[in-house]
Amino acid sequence: MKVVGLMSGTSADGVDAALVSIVRRGGTPRITPLAFASLPYPRSLQQRIVELSLHGCVDDICHLNTYLGELFAKAALRVIQQSKCRPADIDLIGSHGQTIHHLPKGRREPGVGLVRSTLQIGEPAVIAERTGITTVANFRPRDMAAGGEGAPLVPYAHAVAFGHARRGRLVVNIGGIGNVTYLPPGGGVADLRAFDTGPGNMVLDAIVHESSKGQSAYDAGGRRARKGTVNRALLTKLMAHPFLTRCPPKSTGREEFGAPFVRNLLATQRQARLTVEDLLATCAAWTAEAIGSSRRWVTGEIHDVIVGGGGVYNRAIMASLRQVFEPTPVLTFDECGWSSKAFEATAFALLAYDTYHGQCTNVPQATGAHHPVLLGAVVPGSPHMLTKWARLAR
Ligand SMILES: Nc1ncnc2c1ncn2[C@@H]1O[C@H](COP(=O)(O)OP(=O)(O)OP(=O)(O)O)[C@@H](O)[C@H]1O
Ligand SMILES: CC(=O)N[C@H]1[C@@H]2OC[C@@H](O2)[C@@H](O)[C@@H]1O[C@H](C)C(=O)O
C-alpha cells in the first residue's frame, strides 16, 4: 500500500507529510520511504496554537479544527505531488492532527468515575474531501477509552524500525516533549518499555520566544545554549520535578511544561542573576539528564542510543546526551537509515496501515491501557474506497 502520514507535534511548527510504501512480510511491516514534505505554519499561527492549547475559547478551537484540516490536506497533496504520484494512487492517509490539550491523569465525574481526555484537531473530513483518500485520524482516544494515557504511540514504529537481534537500543525522540522507547535485544513489541521523559524543545523554545519578545522561535543549532554555563543548583532543582520522578506509564505536554512553567523559570533566572544563555544551557542539560534518568526504569543493557526529533539539531542537547550516556554510542535516526524529521509522520502512516489491516498498535505496557486496541477513526475518501474497506472487513 502507498500511505501518507501527517503529523504536527507539540512544537506546533507545521505539518510534516511522509509518503511511504508498506508491505507485510512474515507478520512484520516493511516500510520504504518515497517522499517527504513540510508545510510550516505561519509564525502567528504557531503562537495562536500555543495560546489556544492552554486557554483557548471554543470559537477558536472550532475554527482552527477546520482550518488545520485544510493545511493538513495541503501537506498531503504536496508530498503526493512531489513523488509524482496522483491522489488516486494513494491507498490511505494517517493523520495525527495537532494536539491542543492532553489530560492523561483524568478527572473524576459522578456516575462515570475517571475521565481521561486528549484533543487533536485538524478535521479528517476535510482531508478526505480535499484528497479523496480514506483518512484515519484521532488515534489517541481509543487507547484512553481502554484505560491508557493515549501516548506515547510511536513506540510500535520504533520497534519496527530499530529493533535489533543482538543489541539493546534506547530510541529517543526529542520533540517539544522528550520520550524514550527501550528495545531489548531480540525482543518484540511485547517486550519494549516506553514513556515520556518530560522536557524537550518546548521549554527551550518558550525561553527563546519570551526573551526575544517573539522575534525568535528557537535556538538555532543550540548556539545560545552553548554560550551559557549550566547552573548546577538550578539543574538539581529541575531534576526533582514531580513528572521526572513519577513511575511509568506516563505522558505529558504543554499543560506541565508550557508557558506558565517557563515564566516561573525566567523569574528564577532573573533572581539568580543568570543570563538567558545560562538558562538555555541548564535546560538543554536538563532535557538530556531527564532522558538519562529514564534508565532507572529500563532493566536490560543499552548498546546504542538512537536519537530523532528536532532536538538532534541542538548541539547543546546532543553534547549533554553524549556525556550522560558515555561510553554508549549516541547515534541519530539519520545515521541508522531513518530521517529524524520524517519519522513521526512515517509512524502515523504505519499506524493507519495497521488499523486498516485490523492490527492493534497501542502498546499497553507503554500507555497503561488494559488491552490492545485498534487505533483511530476512519473517514472514507471516495465511495470506491469505502467498498474496498468493507471487502477487507469481510
Ligand atoms: N536547526 C535547529 N536547531 C535547533 N533546534 C531545532 C532546529 N530545528 C528544529 N529544532 C527544534 O526542534 C523543534 C521541533 O522538533 P520536532 O518537530 O521533533 O517536534 P514535535 O514533533 O513538534 O514535538 P513532539 O515530538 O513533542 O510532538 C523546534 O521547535 C526546535 O526547537
Ligand atoms: C499527547 C501528545 O501529543 N503527545 C506527544 C508529545 O510529543 C512527544 C511525546 O509527547 C509523545 O508522548 C507524543 O507524541 C508521539 C508522537 C507519540 O505518541 O509517540
Residue 113 has pLDDT above 90, yes or no: yes
Residue list for the binding site:
9-16
- And the C-alpha cell for 62? 472550532
pLDDT digits 0-9 by tens, 217-275? 999 999 999 999 999 999 999 999 999 999 999 999 999 999 999 999 999 999 999 99
Question: pLDDT grade, residue 386 (50/70/90)?
Answer: confident
Which pLDDT value is given to residue 389? Answer: 73
| Prediction ipTM score | 0.98
| Residue in 80, 97, 78 with CA at minimum distance from that of residue 88 | 80
Q: Which residues contact 170 (CB under 8 A, 6 or more apart)?
A: 180, 181, 182, 183, 294, 295, 298, 302, 304, 305, 306
Q: Is the pTM of this model over 0.90?
A: yes
The residue whose CA is least distant from atom 17 of ligand 1 is: 310
16 lines ligand 1 (CB under 6 A): no
Domain 156-336 in CATH 3.40.50.970: no
Q: Do domains 2-149+342-393 and 156-336 have the same CATH topology?
A: yes
CA of 218 to the centre of ligand 1 (A): 8
pLDDT digits 0-9 by tens, 272-295? 999 999 999 999 999 999 999 999
Question: pLDDT grade, residue 393 (50/70/90)?
Answer: low
> H-type helices in the chain, by residue range?
43-55, 58-82, 124-131, 140-145, 155-162, 201-211, 223-227, 232-239, 242-245, 254-257, 259-271, 276-293, 315-325, 343-356, 364-367, 383-393
258 lines ligand 1 (CB under 6 A): no
Give the atom of ligand 2 at the shortest distance from the alpha carbon of 120.
Answer: 3
197 lines ligand 2 (CB under 6 A): no
196 lines ligand 1 (CB under 6 A): no
Residue 321 has pLDDT above 70, yes or no: yes
pLDDT digits 0-9 by tens, 142-174? 999 999 999 999 999 999 999 999 999 999 999
Residue list for the binding site for ATP:
9-16
CA of 231 to the centre of ligand 2 (A): 29
Domain 2-149+342-393 in CATH 1.10.760.10: no
Please give the angle made by the CA atoms of 386, 390 and 394, to the nearest 5 degrees. Answer: 170
CA of 344 to the centre of ligand 2 (A): 9
Residue 212 has pLDDT above 80, yes or no: yes
CA dist 346 to 3, 9, 134, 177, 268, Å? 9, 13, 17, 18, 39
10 lines ligand 2 (CB under 6 A): yes
CA of 40 to the centre of ligand 1 (A): 12
Burial 161-192 (b: 16+ CB within 10 A, else e): bbbbeebbbbbbbbbbbbbbbbbbeebebeeb
Task: Show me where the domains of the chain are located.
Answer: 2-149+342-393, 156-336
